[in-house]
A and B are shown apart, each in its own frame.
Chain A
């Protein structure tokens, strides 16, 4: 079976408007978390967010931007960066596919146009409403730009969607459907309705008096996740195709594992056994032993339950030997983009042989599963890394694990 390699990276995140600035900020331990400044924020119990560091309007033509939902805009920005970073591969359009996962797609458009409908009636609703709100709009926007004709797909699997996008990208190449896939995830839904909904679930941190301390994965004082926004896309290629064109190779996407808890709509299985299953499947798929995994970029959203079950899953599937990072402590939770952005961080960890630190894990949870993990707290740590795992989990029970190996 062909190897699948990563040849291009693109992202826009709360830490930076591209991959280089996001990665640099992450290694410096900078927080991308701040406070909502909008008028509606006052009535929100949770006012802490991870807003994009660079507004998409700075990178996208005004006329094009007004036809795209914010989620689609940032997906396009990240895809352009990834494509250019890969050297704009010369590929037959019928051998090029796009996969962009998302949690909710064009939610901001749907909500804004609902306001128009309520205030001024159906005759004033924008004719662009449907293409801007449909969840597949981000993938289609990139497909249009790159003329991708081997399929354009959108996994919708909540907070696992970005990872599932990369996993599906690998499947497409392995199935022989494409030589090159632009894959990842995008999300932009900072708005009162999603924030109110997550707040009513008690899912969001309410540490409004200290935003940079709000996202506290694995810490005793964690009180929920911080909603962020962002996009991450990678260029995946069949290794022979990439080598034939002399592409620079960041890492090998060695294996993927997908499972579902099918236990509860939003609660993870308390034993984390099916999250562990996804990791085991990914290791088996990659043909790699758990002892070879030097680093895990954890999902670790800083919810009270999720961090514990994930810690158990990592221990069960990988053991206690991998250096674990929880980068949502700096980015917040970008929902359907998080798995893709964190996959990029995992790839860069392998390239630079460094494990990012975790902010705010100052007083680790007493749970023995957390205590047993080697969580890299504070500053990043130099390491010799051959293989690394990125795992992601989403409402609906979705579990996705990706295994990358050094190029």
Chain B
């Protein structure tokens, strides 16, 4: 089980790799599309990377509800086994 801090830092790593977001910018309140310039295709890549890193699959209908970095972190935290 990843801790909240591990999830946050893991998401920041994924965002840097996929979309070139600086880790300091990947804070929980940031919107992927509006603040971090992450497009819908990159969101799909991020979902795949989350599954690889945390073993948590994000179904497509859930992905649409994930707007901020914090939303993603909460989803991972709730659904990790």
A178: shortest Cβ distance to chain B, in Å?
Answer: 28
Interface size on A, residues (CB 8 A): 9
| Interface presence of B45 (CB below 8 A) | yes
| Interface presence of B19 (CB below 8 A) | yes
| Interface presence of A200 (CB below 8 A) | no
- The answer to whether A128 touches B19, judged by C-beta atoms less than 8 angstroms apart, is no
For chain B, give the interface size range: under 10
- A62, A63, A66, A127: which contacts B44 (Cβ < 8 A)? A127
**Chain A 110-128 near chain B by CB (<8 Å), digits 1 or 0:** 0000000000000010111
| Interface presence of B48 (CB below 8 A) | yes
Residues of chain B in range 22-78 having any CB-CB distance to chain A below 8 Å: 41-42, 44-45, 48
Nearest chain-A residue to B40 (Cβ)? Answer: A127
Kindly list chain A residues whose C-beta atoms are within 8 Å of the C-beta of B41.
127-128, 131
Distance between Cα atoms of A224 and B44 in the complex (Å): 44
- The answer to whether B19 touches A63, judged by C-beta atoms less than 8 angstroms apart, is yes
Kindly list chain A residues whose C-beta atoms are within 8 Å of the C-beta of B19.
63
- The answer to whether B45 touches A127, judged by C-beta atoms less than 8 angstroms apart, is yes
- The answer to whether B20 touches A126, judged by C-beta atoms less than 8 angstroms apart, is no
- The answer to whether A61 touches B44, judged by C-beta atoms less than 8 angstroms apart, is no
Kindly list chain B residues whose C-beta atoms are within 8 Å of the C-beta of A66.
18
A86: shortest Cβ distance to chain B, in Å?
Answer: 29
Given contacts A127-B41, A128-B41, contact A61 B48 (CB under 8 A): no
- The answer to whether B45 touches A128, judged by C-beta atoms less than 8 angstroms apart, is yes
Kindly list chain A residues whose C-beta atoms are within 8 Å of the C-beta of B45.
126-128
Kindly list chain B residues whose C-beta atoms are within 8 Å of the C-beta of A128.
41, 45
Distance between Cα atoms of A25 and B18 in the complex (Å): 37
- The answer to whether B48 touches A63, judged by C-beta atoms less than 8 angstroms apart, is no
Majority-rule SS of B interface residues: helix
A128: shortest Cβ distance to chain B, in Å?
Answer: 6
**Chain A 124-140 near chain B by CB (<8 Å), digits 1 or 0:** 10111001000000000
Nearest chain-B residue to A123 (Cβ)? Answer: B48
- The answer to whether B20 touches A124, judged by C-beta atoms less than 8 angstroms apart, is no
Distance between Cα atoms of A363 and B42 in the complex (Å): 55
- B18, B42, B48: which contacts A124 (Cβ < 8 A)? B48
Distance between Cα atoms of A124 and B19 in the complex (Å): 18
Nearest chain-B residue to A64 (Cβ)? Answer: B20
Nearest chain-B residue to A126 (Cβ)? Answer: B45
- The answer to whether A62 touches B20, judged by C-beta atoms less than 8 angstroms apart, is yes
Distance between Cα atoms of A131 and B18 in the complex (Å): 16
Distance between Cα atoms of A131 and B39 in the complex (Å): 13
Kindly list chain A residues whose C-beta atoms are within 8 Å of the C-beta of B42.
127
Distance between Cα atoms of A124 and B20 in the complex (Å): 21
Distance between Cα atoms of A114 and B45 in the complex (Å): 17
A83: shortest Cβ distance to chain B, in Å?
Answer: 23
B67: shortest Cβ distance to chain A, in Å?
Answer: 18
Distance between Cα atoms of A80 and B63 in the complex (Å): 36
Nearest chain-B residue to A124 (Cβ)? Answer: B48
Kindly list chain B residues whose C-beta atoms are within 8 Å of the C-beta of A127.
41-42, 44-45
Distance between Cα atoms of A63 and B20 in the complex (Å): 6
Among A62, A127, A128, max chain B CB count under 10 A is at A127
Distance between Cα atoms of A124 and B48 in the complex (Å): 7
A140: shortest Cβ distance to chain B, in Å?
Answer: 14
**Chain A 66-109 near chain B by CB (<8 Å), digits 1 or 0:** 10000000000000000000000000000000000000000000
Nearest chain-A residue to B19 (Cβ)? Answer: A63
Kindly list chain B residues whose C-beta atoms are within 8 Å of the C-beta of A62.
20
Nearest chain-A residue to B21 (Cβ)? Answer: A63
Nearest chain-A residue to B44 (Cβ)? Answer: A127
15 A-B pairs (CB sep. < 8 Å): A61-B20, A62-B20, A63-B18, A63-B19, A63-B20, A66-B18, A124-B48, A126-B45, A127-B41, A127-B42, A127-B44, A127-B45, A128-B41, A128-B45, A131-B41
Q: Which 10 A-B pairs have the closest CB atoms?
A: A63-B20, A127-B44, A127-B41, A128-B41, A127-B45, A63-B19, A124-B48, A126-B45, A62-B20, A128-B45
List chain B positions with a Cβ less than 8 A from chain A. Answer: 18-20, 41-42, 44-45, 48
Known interface pairs A61-B20, A63-B18, A127-B45; 12 further A-B residue pairs with C-beta atoms within 8 A, sorted by A's residue number: A62-B20, A63-B19, A63-B20, A66-B18, A124-B48, A126-B45, A127-B41, A127-B42, A127-B44, A128-B41, A128-B45, A131-B41
